[in-house]
């Protein structure tokens, strides 16, 4: 399996003035992120507005970005759905393009049992050669993937290689790290949880804030890995306002607005998401003034 990276950005999907996917800008942003501390990219995740992208747009994004970045970083396709058959077909389509892994979110809205979740992920993983990363984000999906189900999948399905944990439940996360099969990786799904999760044995982060402070996040993680916990803690505390501020309203509204403000045109989110109101925009502008942004290749 290709090394997927400790610092992975859940990339936004740039849109043009008509609200259509801007593939040229997506390729430019992908290159910039990989030059600014990110070691991999998740394309068409929640931050990439997967709920409002059409299938053909998603597939084209995978292909165009893969062509643009080559082997410079890992490319992880967000192919999850609350429809098992649809998620399987989408994963197989992404596999044909040559992505490095897929990210499968917990099925939303239909509220499956833990046994249903186990069968859902097992069915998809056993019908692809791609490494599979599970994605637990109960604030979005309502249903939470339990530690027991994650651990069970890690032992039963070899190509389920890790989980993006955005539950914020450190007790659950610790149990996964302790009891999952050897080599099973855990990435933080919340930027503010990254350092606490590293202390439990997590591998890295699938980040939103890395759009703006990827190099600093990279420095924080590798300082911790090298045993320099004091430096890691100092970076974490300095970045904490960014980590929390980018979720002042629903992601990706703040991060898209922030990117537009620093000169990286990614457009507005698609409805039903929209631009931030005046008060929120002022808050993000103030946050940007206080933050050292280092996004290369603008």
Give the number of other CB atoms < 10 A from CB of residue 282.
Answer: 11
Residue 280 lies in a domain: no
Helix (H, G, I), strand (E, B) or coil at 117: helix
Residue 273 lies in a domain: no
User: Tell me, what DSSP letter sits at residue 292?
Assistant: -
Residue 29 lies in a domain: yes
Q: How far is CA 164 from the centre of its chain?
A: 8
Report the domain count for the chain: 1
Pairing of β 204-207 and β 7-10? parallel
Residue 1 lies in a domain: no
Helix (H, G, I), strand (E, B) or coil at 99: coil
**Residue-level pLDDT at 42:** 98
Which domain covers residue 214, as residue numbers? 7-241
pLDDT tens digits along 9-65: 999 999 999 999 999 999 999 999 999 999 999 999 999 999 999 999 999 999 999
d(CA 70, CA 205): 22
d(CA 93, CA 263): 34
Residue 282 lies in a domain: no
CB 34 within 8 A of CB 76: no
Does the pLDDT at position 298 exceed 70?
Answer: no
d(CA 143, CA 132): 19
Residue 296 lies in a domain: no
Helix (H, G, I), strand (E, B) or coil at 74: strand
d(CA 156, CA 126): 10
Write the CATH number for 74. 3.20.20.70
Q: Please give the mean pLDDT across all residues of the chain.
A: 96
Residue 272 lies in a domain: no
pLDDT tens digits along 209-239: 999 999 999 999 999 999 999 999 999 999 9
Which residues have a catalytic role annotated?
A: 135, 164
Predicted TM-score of the model (pTM): 0.95
Residue 124 lies in a domain: yes
Rounded to an integer, the average pLDDT of 248-263 is 96
Could you give the C-alpha distances from 279 to 203, 255, 257, 265, in angstroms and in order? Answer: 36, 15, 13, 21
**Residue-level pLDDT at 297:** 45
pLDDT tens digits along 153-209: 999 999 999 999 999 999 999 999 999 999 999 999 999 999 999 999 999 999 999
């Amino acid at each position: 399996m290709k090394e997927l990276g400790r610092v992975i950005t859940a990339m936004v999907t740039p849109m043009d003035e008509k609200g259509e996917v801007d593939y040229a800008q997506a390729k430019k942003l992908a290159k910039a992120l990989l030059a600014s501390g990110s070691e991999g990219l998740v394309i068409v995740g929640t931050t990439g507005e997967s709920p409002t992208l059409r299938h053909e747009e998603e597939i084209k994004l995978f292909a165009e970005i893969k062509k643009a970045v080559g082997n410079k970083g890992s490319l992880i396709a967000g192919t999850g759905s609350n429809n098992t058959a649809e998620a399987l077909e989408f994963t197989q389509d992404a596999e044909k393009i040559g992505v490095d892994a897929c990210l499968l979110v917990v099925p939303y809205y239909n509220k499956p049992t833990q046994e249903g979740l186990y069968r859902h992920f097992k069915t998809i993983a056993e019908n692809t050669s791609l490494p599979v990363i599970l994605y637990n984000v109960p604030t979005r999906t309502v249903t939470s993937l339990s530690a027991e189900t994650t651990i069970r999948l890690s032992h039963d399905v070899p190509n389920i290689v890790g989980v993006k944990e955005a539950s914020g439940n450190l007790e659950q996360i610790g149990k996964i790290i302790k009891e999952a099969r050897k080599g099973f990786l855990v990435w933080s799904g919340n930027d503010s949880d990254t350092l606490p999760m590293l202390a439990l044995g997590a591998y890295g982060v699938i980040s939103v804030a890395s759009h703006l402070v990827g190099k600093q996040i990279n420095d924080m993680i590798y300082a911790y890995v090298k045993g320099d916990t004091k430096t890691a803690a100092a970076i974490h505390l300095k970045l904490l306002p960014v980590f929390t501020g980018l979720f002042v309203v629903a992601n990706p509204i703040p991060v898209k607005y922030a990117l537009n403000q620093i000169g990286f045109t990614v457009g507005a989110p698609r409805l039903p998401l929209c631009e931030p109101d005046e008060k929120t925009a002022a808050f993000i502008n103030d946050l940007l003034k206080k933050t050292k942004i280092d996004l290369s290749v603008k």
